[in-house]
Structure 1
């Protein structure tokens, strides 16, 4: 675990592995990382919006906290996936598989359903 964190914070670790890849692959990996960061920021923004604009109550607080936590989780997962992909690219290995996009899509769908239920129940706009 500690070695993973070190590779997150010290990119020179990756430069000592394998061969120098075509820079386009590294840049594509970085763009994917930035897209995941935007997703995490959007979830955090959604959590703040839920906390600010929905009527008070336990459901609002739980939904806001879930969105905020999920946004933070997406950011950490993005960093880990970026580092693992960068290592694989430099080694000429297969890219690491990830179930996280599917899990995230299901969680976002669940969150959208919860928000829809709250809107239909009249929790918004009061």
Structure 2
């Protein structure tokens, strides 16, 4: 039977590196929470439009409230995905550090998030233009 590969004890790892990884996790956590909060605001924007239409401020647009609910729900789901993904990413990196592997995690998660948010922003802009909110 093969002997297991000995792991470096965590005391051999520079604590600054572990703390930097934890700060990164906390940054991702703030990003996920902000996405979820903003998603809630966007989802409630449809309610605001319906109230304004009831007061006669704007013409009613049934597609506007559905679009804001869809976009808000997407942002909330994206926030949840960021929280889950960042947790797995942190655990993987922490395990690698305690084993003595100093391989840095890739930039895929941040890049993917930025591209999804840019696409969602374009959809929101098109939706606002379609509703006549940006005249």
- TM-score normalised over the length of structure 1: 0.77
Distance 1:124 1:77 in 2: 35
Maintained 8 Å contact 2:32/2:80: yes
Look up the match of 2:110.
101
- Segments of structure 1 that go 5 or more residues without pairing to the other structure are 1-15
Maintained 8 Å contact 1:88/1:96: no
Report the number of matched residues. Answer: 110
Distance 2:133 2:23 in 1: 36
Residue 35 of structure 1 is aligned with which of 27, 36, 44?
A: 27
**Structure 1 residues 10-66: Cα deviation after superposition (integer angstroms, max 9, x where no partner):** xxxxxx952321110111000000010111011101110111124353212211111
Residue 8 of structure 2 is aligned with which of 18, 34, 39?
A: 18
Greater gyration radius: 2
- Segments of structure 2 that go 5 or more residues without pairing to the other structure are 1-5, 50-63
Residue 74 of structure 1 is aligned with which of 69, 82, 85?
A: 82
- TM-score normalised over the length of structure 2: 0.72
In angstroms, what is the RMSD of aligned CA positions? Answer: 2.1
Distance 1:46 1:67 in 2: 7
Maintained 8 Å contact 1:40/1:71: yes
